[in-house]
Every structure is written in structure tokens, then in C-alpha cells.
């Protein structure tokens, strides 16, 4: 029985091999045709039946531009000068004398009659005036100490040995030493000794020497004061005696400052006043107070 099975299998293999050979020949023929078409296109032969058409652009239609004149802007309720045009709003000015906004410059407005109620400078505080450089301590080892200072205006720390010039404050360190000083206790007890840093500095502004210690704060002989304009409670001014502050056309001169009781004597000058006004003012609360300072004495 096995004798006729083997010839059948061999015959099937021959049929399958013949089919594969036919498929291979057909694919080769198709590839040959495609390569022939590619060679024809590469040679520049145009495809049969394709003829380019001439280009005829369509004429553009003319644009119609319409113009229209806008109506003049009407004046606002504030007056005929308050006109908001399309792209040009009015230029607004602030008059510090009348404390109002206008569309005309203050110098072209009619003069306003002023009284003592125009005094708008308020006193907030009178306090001692510290020297601009303070000794805060020292660093280093025994026999080689460096003095440490603080700039009052900036809070900057400065370090140096004798001969050092601090450019930012205009002060030169002359000498520096550590001293043993007794601290009285009272009650008959023995005194306690403590180390105190002492520096002698030269003030280039006054040409004087100052003795500074890390125990106490060095103060100038005259006080300083904090002011504000009543219409602008956010900005504060730190001034000394003889200083001036301008508020528009007004000028305030700080004539005198007194620590106790705290007060300031101020003179107001204004071109629209018949004569300057001198007033003694006292501290007001630091929050905004629209009221005026209390007492006034016109200059005669």
C-alpha cells in the first residue's frame, strides 16, 4: 500500500512547483513593464493625450471705498473744555492749590485767594537725630580686633581698622580700643566689669571727632521730624531745622523743632498769599486725618 502513496506526493510537489514558476514569470513580466514606463518618463516623453491649456487670469473687480465723517464729540458734564474725542482725550492737570483736576494748565487759571486753611503740612513725629554711623561691636582675636559699624541711612554693615575711611558716610576711623568699665549694681555689692568697644571717628562734614561706643547710640544735638502733606498721607518726609519742602507753588520752611513737648514751627510761602504764614504744629495721628493742624500765627 505504501508503494502508490509516494508517487502521489511527488506528483503534488511537481504541480506546486509549476504554479510557483508561473507566478514568478508573471511578476517578472509586470516589473519589466513598470521599468519600461519609468525609462520613458525619465527620457522626457510626454504622456499621450495630455495637452497643457493656456492660462487666462480673471480680471480683478475694482474696490469700492466709502468714506464717512464722524460727528464732533460733545462736551462732558464738567464743562465745554472736557471733550473726549475719538483718539484724543483731553490733557488733565492737577492743581495743588485748589486740589482739583482741570483741563487747562494751573498757571493759566485765575489766581485763587488763599487763607490759613491752605496750610497742608502735618507733623507726625519729632525725635532725636542719630549720628549717621553707629558702633555695634567688634570681631577678630585678641590684639587684632576690627571695629564693626552700621550705616543709619542704609543699614549697611561696615568693618575696619584705624585709618579706614568709610566712603559711603564720609567718616574715617581714627582709633579703636576695648576698655574695661564697671557696671554699678547697688546695695553695696562689688561692681561688675564689662568690656566696652570705643572708637574715635572723624566726621568730614563738620570737621569734628566723635567718640562712639557699642553701649550707647551716638546722637546729634538737634532733633529731626517726620512730616506729610495732608492730601497725600502715603508719602512721609524726614526733615531737619532749616529744611524746605515744596508742594506745587507752596514752600514750607522748617523754622524750629522741639522734642518735649513735640512741636514744629513752620513758615508757608505762596505767591497767592498776601504774606507768609507761620504756624506751630503738633503731632497728629499717623493714619490719614483730613483735618488741619491746630494753632496758627500769621507773620506780621
Do 210 and 131 touch, CB atoms closer than 8 A? Answer: yes
Residue where a domain stops, chosen among 201, 217, 233: 217
Amino acid 296: pLDDT: 32
Contacting residues for 219 by C-beta, under 8 A, at least 6 apart: 128, 129, 130, 131
C-alpha to C-alpha distance for 189 and 212, rounded to whole angstroms: 29
- 33 belongs to a structural domain: no
Same domain for 251 and 144, yes or no, is no
Domains held by the chain: number? 2
For the beta carbon of residue 197, count every other beta carbon within 10 angstroms: 19
Whole-angstrom Cα Rg for the chain = 49
Same domain for 250 and 262, yes or no, is yes
Same domain for 209 and 259, yes or no, is no
Do 275 and 117 touch, CB atoms closer than 8 A? Answer: no
CA angle at 127 for the pair 125 and 133, rounded to the nearest 5°? 130
Amino acid 85: pLDDT: 63
Same domain for 140 and 210, yes or no, is yes
Amino acid 166: pLDDT: 95
Same domain for 123 and 136, yes or no, is no
What is the grid cell recorded at 86? 475719538
- 241 belongs to a structural domain: yes
Amino acid 168: pLDDT: 92
Same domain for 211 and 245, yes or no, is no
Same domain for 229 and 288, yes or no, is yes
- 13 belongs to a structural domain: no
Amino acid 100: pLDDT: 67
CA angle at 129 for the pair 128 and 134, rounded to the nearest 5°? 115
Same domain for 269 and 120, yes or no, is yes
Same domain for 123 and 164, yes or no, is no
- 279 belongs to a structural domain: yes
- 25 belongs to a structural domain: no
Give the residue carrying C-alpha cell 513593464.
33
Question: What are the C-alpha distances in Å from 138 to residues 52, 133, 166, 197, 214?
Answer: 98, 14, 16, 7, 9
Contacting residues for 37 by C-beta, under 8 A, at least 6 apart: none
Same domain for 123 and 226, yes or no, is yes
- 249 belongs to a structural domain: yes
Amino acid 232: pLDDT: 81
- 253 belongs to a structural domain: yes
Same domain for 252 and 203, yes or no, is no
Amino acid 153: pLDDT: 87
Amino acid 213: pLDDT: 93
Return averaged pLDDT per consecutive 10 residues of the chain, 300 residues in all: 51 80 80 69 57 78 79 71 65 63 56 57 91 92 90 92 94 92 70 87 93 90 90 86 90 92 92 88 71 35
Question: What are the C-alpha distances in Å from 187 to residues 96, 116, 196?
Answer: 64, 59, 24
Residue where a domain stops, chosen among 217, 248, 280: 217
Instruction: List, in sequence order, every residue forming a beta bridge with 157; answer none if it has no partner.
Output: 150
Residue where a domain stops, chosen among 217, 252, 281: 217
Backbone angles phi, psi at 140, to 5 degrees: 110, 180
Same domain for 174 and 236, yes or no, is no
Taking the whole predicted model, whether its pTM rises above 0.85 is answered as no
- 9 belongs to a structural domain: no
Amino acid 39: pLDDT: 64
**Residue ranges making up the domain that contains 213:** 132-217
Amino acid at each position: 500500500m505504501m508503494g502508490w502513496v509516494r508517487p502521489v506526493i511527488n506528483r503534488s510537489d511537481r504541480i506546486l512547483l509549476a504554479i510557483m514558476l508561473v507566478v514568478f514569470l508573471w511578476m517578472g513580466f509586470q516589473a519589466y513593464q513598470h521599468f519600461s514606463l519609468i525609462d520613458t518618463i525619465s527620457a522626457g516623453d510626454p504622456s499621450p493625450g495630455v495637452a497643457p491649456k493656456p492660462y487666462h487670469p480673471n480680471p480683478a473687480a475694482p474696490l469700492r471705498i466709502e468714506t464717512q465723517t464722524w460727528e464732533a464729540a460733545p462736551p462732558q458734564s464738567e464743562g465745554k473744555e472736557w471733550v473726549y474725542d475719538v483718539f484724543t482725550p483731553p490733557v488733565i492737570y492737577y492743581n495743588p492749590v485748589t486740589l482739583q483736576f482741570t483741563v487747562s494748565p494751573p498757571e493759566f487759571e485765575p489766581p485763587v485767594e488763599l487763607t490759613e486753611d491752605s496750610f497742608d503740612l502735618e507733623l507726625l513725629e519729632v525725635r532725636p537725630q542719630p549720628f549717621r554711623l553707629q558702633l555695634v561691636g567688634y570681631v577678630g582675636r585678641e590684639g587684632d580686633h576690627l571695629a564693626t559699624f552700621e550705616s543709619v541711612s542704609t543699614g549697611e554693615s561696615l568693618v575696619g581698622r584705624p585709618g579706614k575711611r568709610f566712603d559711603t558716610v564720609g567718616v574715617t576711623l581714627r582709633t579703636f580700643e576695648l576698655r574695661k568699665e564697671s557696671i554699678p549694681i547697688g546695695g553695696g555689692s562689688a561692681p561688675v566689669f564689662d568690656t566696652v568697644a570705643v572708637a574715635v571717628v572723624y566726621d568730614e562734614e563738620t570737621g569734628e571727632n566723635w567718640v562712639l561706643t557699642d553701649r550707647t547710640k551716638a546722637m546729634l544735638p538737634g532733633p529731626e521730624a517726620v512730616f506729610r502733606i495732608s492730601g497725600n498721607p502715603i508719602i512721609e518726609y524726614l526733615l531737619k531745622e532749616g529744611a524746605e519742602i515744596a508742594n506745587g507753588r507752596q514752600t514750607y520752611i522748617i523754622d524750629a523743632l522741639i522734642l518735649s513737648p513735640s512741636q514744629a514751627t513752620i513758615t508757608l510761602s505762596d505767591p497767592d498769599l498776601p504774606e507768609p504764614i507761620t504756624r506751630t504744629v503738633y503731632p497728629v495721628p499717623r493714619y490719614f486725618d483730613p483735618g488741619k493742624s491746630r494753632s496758627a500765627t500769621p507773620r506780621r
